Amino acid sequence: MDCLLNNNDEKTLKSDTRLDSMGLKSSHTAPILTEPTPRNKSRLQVPSHLLQYSGATFSPRMKAEIIEIRANNCLHSMESSSPPHKKSRDFNNELVATDMDGAYRAWQLKYPSALASFEQITNFAKGKRITLFLDYDGTLSPIVDNPDCAFMSNDMRVAVKNVAKCFPTAIISGRSRDKVYEFVGLTELNYAGSHGMDIMGPVRQSSAGYYDCIRCTDKQGKEVNLFQPASEFLPMIDEVFNSLVNNIEEIQGAKVENNKFCISVHYRNVDEKDWKTVAQRVHDVIRNYPRLRLTHGRKVLEVRPVINWDKGKAVTFLLESLGFSNYDDVLPIYVGDDQTDEDAFKVLREGNRGYGILVSSVPKESNAFFSLRDPQEVMEFLKSLVVWMKKTSTL
Ligand SMILES: O=P(O)(O)OC[C@H]1O[C@H](O[C@H]2O[C@H](CO)[C@@H](O)[C@H](O)[C@H]2O)[C@H](O)[C@@H](O)[C@@H]1O
């Protein structure tokens, strides 16, 4: 498949509200199906404080009805994540501004541009160590049709490398950790894959004590801590991945991606008339797995374990691993574009710990403080941080 740039803007304020009302917006959603645990299936050895599964019981008929309702709700969410184009063309085929531009400017009053507010951000950083957390897709690389071709530009790579030399930096992605490392290819930063369920971070006694970490060496031979709170789910994820591939990939344009501790079902290239089939088949497969849940991303359905762990928890974990348990000494900044990034924005907003920066070219509700339009603006922001750091260190 060609790696075509897709400029459609996704997820409006309206669609977010709708997701919320269906209980699908936040990653704190209940499992989509709540079946009792079959007796012959052993319980997963996940630390109890991370388990979210409630285990309610339903009759087979109720279960079937729930599946139908969930699949229909899922379809509505898929449809509402496709708002109309924000620009239209006049009779000279020139791009003309639509109401969306005014709406975006109004929205920026609530979520000011991080570039325009750069001084405010750096003033707040005085006496603190900035720590950067970056999402990958839609933040460091533009959204494209083929997920295998979501390459970041060389300019962006240089910007990330430079910023990582100045500040502790981590990438937290929904992708598998290996895949995101393959795309980024920089050794100067830390990586967390599978929406934070696969973290390779620095060795620190504090995080190693509380969390169940594995001490190992990375590809460069450096000693690191590996934290994988959903490792018990690996066989289940592999099983579900195979079943999804068998059931979904025959739908033209559909693609199933194995992200190690979670699975992405992409419908970006599926004809809209077939979206319902995608939703129905995903629900049919995961109905037998009450310990898996479904969340929505950008033209993607995400299947993930029901554990109390997300990108927000990953930020807290990494801050501790980096030695920043005391929030007075650090200013964490998280840049992301997706629904799963909201968990991280929320953690930073609570207690004014740091700043979330939402990457979006359309207005949408968020827990972030600031905004940037697209990866190009993200790159400008990263470059500005480097310039600022160099200037302040020579003062
Ligand atoms: O947390 P992220 O790094 O933002 O990862 C979230 C998902 O990103 C990828 O899918 C999205 O980007 C693709 C490439 O631009 C696009 O084709 C797709 O429609 C988007 O949903 C990735 O493929 C998923 O596995 C990640 O979960």
Query: Quick one: average pLDDT of 82-104?
Result: 58
> How many Å lie between the centroid of ligand 1 and the Cα of residue 113?
24
Considering the entire predicted model, what is its pTM?
Answer: 0.82
Span 228-273, pLDDT tens digits: 999 999 999 999 999 999 999 899 999 999 999 999 999 999 999 9
Span 129-171, pLDDT tens digits: 999 999 999 999 999 999 999 999 999 999 999 999 999 999 9
Query: Quick one: average pLDDT of 262-285?
Result: 97
Query: Quick one: average pLDDT of 321-331?
Result: 87
Q: What is the C-alpha separation between 56 and 78, in angstroms, rounded?
A: 27
Query: Quick one: average pLDDT of 26-34?
Result: 27
Q: Is the pLDDT of residue 116 over 90?
A: yes
> How many Å lie between the centroid of ligand 1 and the Cα of residue 100?
25
> How many Å lie between the centroid of ligand 1 and the Cα of residue 10?
13
Span 295-322, pLDDT tens digits: 999 999 999 999 999 999 999 999 999 9
Which tokens in the block code for residue 182?
């393959």
pLDDT > 70 in the chain, percent = 76
Closest ligand 1 atom to residue 139 Cα is 4
Q: pLDDT band at 26, cuts 50/70/90?
A: very low
What pLDDT is stored for residue 299 in this prediction? Answer: 96
Conformation bin of residue 44: beta by default, left when phi > 0, alpha when psi is -120 to 50: beta
| Contact of 336 with 346, CB cutoff 8 Å | no
What pLDDT is stored for residue 318 in this prediction? Answer: 94
What is the interface pTM, i.e. ipTM, of the complex? 0.99
| Contact of 194 with 177, CB cutoff 8 Å | yes
Closest ligand 1 atom to residue 297 Cα is 21
> How many Å lie between the centroid of ligand 1 and the Cα of residue 43?
31
Q: What is the C-alpha separation between 175 and 166, in angstroms, rounded?
A: 25
Atom 23 of ligand 1, nearest CA residue: 147
> How many Å lie between the centroid of ligand 1 and the Cα of residue 167?
26
Atom 7 of ligand 1, nearest CA residue: 174
**Could you tell which of 261, 298, 310 is best to mutate to test the pocket of ligand 1, judged by most ligand atoms within 8 Å of the CB?**
298
The strand ranges marked E within the chain are 88-89, 95-96, 129-134, 169-172, 190-193, 198-202, 214-217, 223-227, 255-258, 263-266, 292-297, 300-305, 330-336, 355-359, 370-372
Q: Report helix, strand or coil for 218.
A: coil
Closest ligand 1 atom to residue 337 Cα is 4
Q: pLDDT band at 359, cuts 50/70/90?
A: very high
**Could you tell which of 10, 191, 300 is best to mutate to test the pocket of ligand 1, judged by most ligand atoms within 8 Å of the CB?**
300
Closest ligand 1 atom to residue 137 Cα is 4
Q: What is the C-alpha separation between 139 and 272, in angstroms, rounded?
A: 26
> How many Å lie between the centroid of ligand 1 and the Cα of residue 286?
21
What pLDDT is stored for residue 209 in this prediction? Answer: 54
Long-range Cβ pairs for the range 239-247 (8 Å, 24+) = 240/285, 240/286, 240/289, 240/292, 240/303, 243/285, 244/281, 244/282, 244/285, 244/303, 247/281, 247/284, 247/285
> How many Å lie between the centroid of ligand 1 and the Cα of residue 134?
14
**Ligand 1 pocket by C-beta < 6 Å: which residues?**
135-138, 143-145, 147, 150, 173-175, 257, 259, 264, 266, 268, 297-300, 302, 338, 340
